[in-house]
Amino acid sequence: MIRARLLLAVPLLLLALSARAVTGPDEMLADPELEARARALGKELRCLVCQNQSIDDSDAPLARDLRRIVREQLVAGASEAEIKRFLVERYGEFVLLKPPVSPATWLLWAGPFLMAAAGAALVWTFVRARSVRPEEVTELTAEERQALERLLEGGSGERTR
């Protein structure tokens, strides 16, 4: 059926888009191990022009330049941490797609856990409030029972709630 085919075509098209390699063959390193490290590092670095893509994903000229710098430095023997430091010195921590835990970012990292804790606390207070109230109400003292009976007998259609 046409609809079934369409349903299949959309994810396949998306897959094809995501699989498209931006890194050109002229950029790739001859050493497959170094190239793999360069690709992995490129995925962690933000393209400053497009901002929500990694330099590994981006076609922007600046992303290409940064990919080249990453490869040059890897060939020269630099570690991943050294290359990241090189870029952070120039572009700030924004260049790292995964921000490090620092005084400026702890809220970002702790945020989801704080929200979950706040939600749990809210649920707990509501559940507790509901489970407590009926017990208090059901236990009537002898005086109250008498008062209630008086009201029920003497009440002429008055609401007694």
Partner 1 sequence: MSARLDTGRPQRLGRGWLYLLPVLLFAAIGVVLALGLERDARTLPSVLIDKPAPEFALPPLPGRDDRGFTRADLNGQVALVNIFASWCVPCRIEHPVLEQLAREGVVVHAINYKDDPRDALAFLRTLGDPFARVGMDREGRAAIDWGVYGVPETFVIDREGRIRYRHVGPIQPRDLERTLRPLLAKLAQ
The values of phi and psi at residue 93, to 5°, are: -70, -15
Q: How far is the CB of 156 from partner 1 (least distance, A)?
A: 18
Q: How far is the CB of 81 from partner 1 (least distance, A)?
A: 17
Q: How far is the CB of 79 from partner 1 (least distance, A)?
A: 20
Cα(21)–Cα(38) distance, integer angstroms: 14
**Rule CB under 8 A: which residues touch partner 1?**
48-49, 51, 61-62, 65-66, 69, 88-92, 94, 125, 129, 133, 136-137, 141, 144, 147
Cβ closest to partner 1, residue 43 vs residue 90? 90
Cβ closest to partner 1, residue 75 vs residue 147? 147
Q: Compute the Cα dihedral for 133, 137, 141, 143 and give only its sign.
A: positive
Q: Compute the Cα dihedral for 42, 110, 92, 77 and give only its sign.
A: negative
Cβ closest to partner 1, residue 26 vs residue 33? 26
Strand partners, 54: 46
